[in-house]
C-alpha cells in the first residue's frame, strides 16, 4: 500500500527530539524501529502529519546495570535484547519472550521501547514487562518521570505517554533466582499470539512462594492474572497449580477475532498458565 503524505524529522539529540515532538503536538508520531508504525501507514490506518524518527538520538540503545535493576534503552532492538548477556542473566523471561517476536527481519529492526509504546495487547513484550514489575522512564519537556508498567498501559494502543513525551528506557528488577517461562500460542510463526502467558515463579522449600503471570491478548491492555497469582502462592504440586490456573482468565475481557473466540481465549489462558507456571517452577 501507499502511505499518505507526511513530514519527516530526524532529530540527533534527545532535546531536539522533545522539541520536535512538542511542536508537532497531537499530529506527530514517533518512529522507532517502524515495525508497527509502517504497516499502519501503508494501510492508511494512521495519518500523522509528522513522523519523528528517533533512530539517530544517542543514548537510547543498550542494556546496563543499576544496582538490582536492569536498564534497557528504548531503542535497543529485539535482536539485541535476545543476545544481551545481562538480559539473559538477570531477566531471562525478557529474552525468552523477545525471541518469539515475529520473525528475524522484524527482530533486527523492531525495538523494545517501540513495542511497549505502541501498547498492542497482542504483542509479547508489554505483558512480559508487566509480569516483571518493570518501570518505564519517560522524558518530556518538564524532565523525566518513571511510570510503573501497571499504570503505563491505559487502553488498546493507548498509554500514559503525552504527545510531547518519549519513552527513553525501561527499568526491570533483576529476577535472579526466579524461574520463568513464556507460553505463546499462535498459529503461524510470524503471527501474533492468540493468547500468551509469561510466568515468573519464585520457589521456597518446594512450594511456589510467589508467581507473577502476564497475559497477552486477553483484553484491551496487557494484564496480570492476579487471581491466579494469589491462588498459586503456596502450591506444591501439579494438581494444585492446575487448580490455581483455572482462575487465570478471571476479570479479563478477551477479544474475539478470526483467530479465536473470547471463550476459547479464556480456556487457553487457563491451560497456558498451568503450563507456563509448571515449567517456570520446574514442576513440569
Residues that bind other proteins (CB under 8 A): 1-2, 4-5, 39, 42-43, 103, 185, 187-192, 194, 257-261, 264, 267-268, 271-272
Q: Which residue has the cell 518538564?
A: 142
Which of 86/264 has CB closer to other proteins? Answer: 264
* Nearest distance in Å: CB 189, other proteins: 4
Question: Which residues fall within 8 angstroms of residue 258, CB to CB, at 6 or more apart?
Answer: none
**177 vs 188, which CB is nearer to other proteins?**
188
6 vs 202, beta carbon nearer other proteins: 6
Q: Minimum distance from CB of 279 to other proteins (Å)?
A: 15
> Which residue lies nearer to other proteins by CB, 38 or 271?
271
Q: Pairing state of beta strands 223-224 and 207-216?
A: antiparallel
Q: CA-to-CA distance for 116 and 93, rounded, in angstroms?
A: 16
Residue 199: CB minimum distance to other proteins, A: 16
C-alpha cell at 244: 490455581
Q: Cβ closer to other proteins: 43 or 233?
A: 43
Contact 249, 218 (CB under 8 A): yes
Please give the backbone phi and psi of residue 257, each rounded to the nearest 5 degrees, phi first: -155, -165
Q: What are phi and psi of 276, to 5 degrees?
A: -65, -45
Shortest distance, CB of residue 268 to other proteins, whole angstroms? Answer: 6
Spatial CA neighbour of 121 closest among 132, 111, 130: 130
**Rounded least distance, CB 265 to other proteins, Å:** 9
Amino acid at each position: 500500500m501507499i502511505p499518505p503524505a507526511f513530514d519527516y524529522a530526524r532529530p540527533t539529540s534527545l532535546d531536539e527530539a522533545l522539541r520536535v515532538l512538542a511542536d508537532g503536538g497531537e499530529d506527530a508520531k514517533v518512529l522507532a524501529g517502524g515495525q508497527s508504525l509502517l504497516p499502519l501507514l501503508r494501510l492508511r490506518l494512521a495519518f500523522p502529519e509528522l513522523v519523528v524518527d528517533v533512530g539517530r538520538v544517542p543514548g537510547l540503545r543498550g542494556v546496563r546495570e543499576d544496582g538490582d535493576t536492569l536498564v534497557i534503552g528504548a531503542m535497543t532492538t529485539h535482536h539485541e535484547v535476545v543476545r544481551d548477556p545481562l538480559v539473559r542473566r538477570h531477566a531471562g523471561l525478557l529474552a525468552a519472550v523477545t525471541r518469539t517476536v515475529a520473525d528475524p527481519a522484524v527482530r533486527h529492526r523492531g525495538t523494545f521501547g517501540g513495542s511497549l509504546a505502541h501498547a498492542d495487547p497482542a504483542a509479547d513484550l508489554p505483558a512480559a514487562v508487566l509480569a516483571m514489575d518493570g518501570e518505564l522512564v519517560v522524558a518530556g519537556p518538564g524532565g523525566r518521570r518513571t511510570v510503573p508498567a501497571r499504570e503505563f498501559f491505559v487502553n488498546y494502543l493507548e498509554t500514559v505517554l503525552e504527545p510531547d513525551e518519549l519513552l527513553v528506557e525501561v527499568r526491570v528488577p533483576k529476577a535472579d533466582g526466579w524461574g520463568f517461562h513464556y507460553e505463546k500460542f499462535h498459529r503461524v510463526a510470524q503471527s501474533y499470539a492468540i493468547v500468551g502467558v509469561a510466568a515468573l515463579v519464585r520457589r521456597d522449600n518446594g512450594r511456589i512462594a510467589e508467581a507473577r503471570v502476564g497475559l497477552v491478548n486477553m483484553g484491551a491492555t496487557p494484564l496480570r492474572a492476579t487471581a491466579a497469582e494469589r491462588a498459586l502462592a503456596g502450591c506444591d504440586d501439579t494438581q494444585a497449580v492446575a487448580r490455581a490456573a483455572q482462575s487465570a482468565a478471571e476479570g479479563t475481557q478477551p477479544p474475539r477475532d478470526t483467530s479465536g473466540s473470547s471463550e476459547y481465549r479464556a480456556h487457553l489462558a487457563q491451560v497456558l498458565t498451568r503450563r507456563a507456571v509448571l515449567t517456570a517452577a520446574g514442576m513440569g
